[in-house]
Structure 1
């Protein structure tokens, strides 16, 4: 299926939170162990900036109001200014839309836009056991830059975290 995407709006936040919460019980893509609330993500959404740290939502053609996934470019390592050339990428899909190509489409869009926004690097962390996500990111040129052994504990199960990154090339100006 070919998905479309658009910048997220405040009205999308409940769907974004639902998608994020859908991965929590799986213990495969986040260290949050309890569901989050829309209220708890208000500041995160308000701090996103379409010109620097955008959030895009995926949707089926002709159904822009039905959010099927999202990707965001966020400040790297607590937003310290020296890291402004790097974006921390987050990508989550609705369970009904995984394995359908949407992740690849959203990731490709984020990579292209990150370069246009002046980022030189995109980085993210993925659980070592999340082979599907690792394959997706590797297919888009991300390389493993490090492995943090047993830094997460998911209900008594130690989990390694793989740090992956993608250099985007030299960019001259930051937006």
Structure 2
């Protein structure tokens, strides 16, 4: 399947929240245990900045208004200035578009744009049990930078978190 992407708008926030909430029940991609609301994500979206910390949404070519996934670049480790060379990446896909190339499309775009936004590295955390996500990121050059054993508790199940990163080519 062919996918496209565009900068997210405020009108996309309900779809973004719906996609995020869809991964909460399976406990495979976030430590949130309860659904979030559009209202609770307003501040997060307002702080996104297309010139530094963008949110892009994926869509199929015929309809750019139907959001199939999203990727965001966000401040790394609480936004302390010394970390400004590194972006924290978040990538989530609608269930109907997982394993179909949407994640690769969004990830490639974020990797290509990150140096233009002033980043030298991209990093993210993935549950060790989420092999599909680990394969996707490894296929795009991300390497394991560390492993945090049993730092997450998901309904009584301990999860290791794998810290992966990608140094970006410098011009």
TM-score (norm 2): 0.99
Tell me if 1:12 matches 2:6: no
Corresponding residue for residue 58 of structure 1: 58
Structure 1 Cα separation of the partners of residues 145 and 169 of structure 2: 17
Number of matched pairs: 171
Q: C-alpha offsets along residues 61-88 of structure 1, whole Å, 9 cap, x if unaligned?
A: 0200000000000000000011000000
Once the two structures are superposed, the pairs formed by residues 156-171 of structure 1 within 5 Å of their partners are: 156-170=156-170
Structure 1 Cα separation of the partners of residues 3 and 143 of structure 2: 26
Q: Secondary structure at the match of 2:148?
A: strand
Corresponding residue for residue 44 of structure 1: 44
Root mean square deviation of aligned Cα: 0.7
Q: Secondary structure at the match of 2:41?
A: helix
Tell me if 1:131 matches 2:128: no
Corresponding residue for residue 2 of structure 2: 2
User: Deviation of residue 170 (structure 1)?
Assistant: 3.3
Once the two structures are superposed, the pairs formed by residues 20-169 of structure 1 within 5 Å of their partners are: 20-169=20-169
Structure 1 Cα separation of the partners of residues 105 and 71 of structure 2: 10
Gaps (5+ residues) in structure 2?
none
Gaps (5+ residues) in structure 1?
none
Q: C-alpha offsets along residues 138-163 of structure 1, whole Å, 9 cap, x if unaligned?
A: 00000000000000000000000000
Q: Secondary structure at the match of 1:5?
A: strand
Q: Secondary structure at the match of 1:119?
A: coil
Structure 2 Cα separation of the partners of residues 142 and 6 of structure 1: 23
Structure 1 Cα separation of the partners of residues 170 and 100 of structure 2: 33
Runs of 4+ in 1 over 3 A off after TM superposition: none
Does the 8 Å CA contact 2:115/2:170 hold for their aligned counterparts? no
Q: Secondary structure at the match of 1:138?
A: helix
